[in-house]
Amino acid sequence: MFSYYSATFEEEDEMFLGWFDPDRKKSAREKLEEGMERYEEKFGKPPTLVLTNPDDAEALRQPSRAYPGEPPLPVIEANFVARWTFYIGTEQDLHTGLAA
């Protein structure tokens, strides 16, 4: 089970995709991969960063057999983000959101 929503800021094309997936059977990277696919499907461009809870950020940084190496996006830790939630977006989205 998962859910998503868009956090809209000043302009219609500047937003994060909020991806929530509490399924403990999936790895954080698998959840992020699904969220990235949905972001591209919805906005027509690839995301360039992810904001997430410090615990999920640590899980994203841990390589595994299925997901070796570094995470596919830069990971920004944010204490205000709930567990199992990933705000997927771009650098532009981040600056717009912080300025709002």
Give the pLDDT confidence of 47-61 residue by residue, as tens digits: 999 999 999 999 999
The candidate with the shortest Cα–Cα distance to 36, out of 59, 52, 25, 12, is 52
pLDDT on residue 37 = 97
Measured on CA atoms in the order 53, 4, 45, 16, is the torsion positive or negative? Answer: negative
Tokens encoding 11:
């302009």
pLDDT in tens, 7-21: 544 445 568 999 999
Angstrom distance (rounded) from CA 9 to CA 21: 23
* Residue percentage of the chain with pLDDT more than 90: 75
How confident is the prediction for the chain on average, in pLDDT? Answer: 86
The pTM (predicted TM-score) of the whole model is 0.80
Q: Looking at the predicted structure, is the pLDDT value of residue 68 above 50?
A: yes
Q: Enumerate the domain spans of the chain.
A: 3-99
